[in-house]
Amino acid sequence: MRQINLEKLSLKELQELELRVEKAIAEARLKERSELKAEIEQMVADRGFTMSEIFSTKRGSPKGRTVAPKFANPEDPGQTWTGRGRKPNWLVQKLEEGADLDDFLL
**pLDDT band at residue 1, thresholds of 50, 70 and 90?**
confident
- Residue 96: partners with Cβ closer than 8 Å, 6 or more residues away: none
Alpha carbon 68 to chain centroid, angstroms = 22
The pLDDT score that the predictor gives to residue 8 is 93
Strand, helix or coil for residue 60: coil
pLDDT per position as a tens digit, 39-51 = 999 999 999 998 8
Q: What are the tens digits of pLDDT across the range 49-98?
A: 988 888 876 655 556 678 888 999 888 888 899 988 899 999 999 999 99
Domain boundaries, the chain: 9-54, 71-104
User: 33 vs 78, which has greater pLDDT?
Assistant: 33
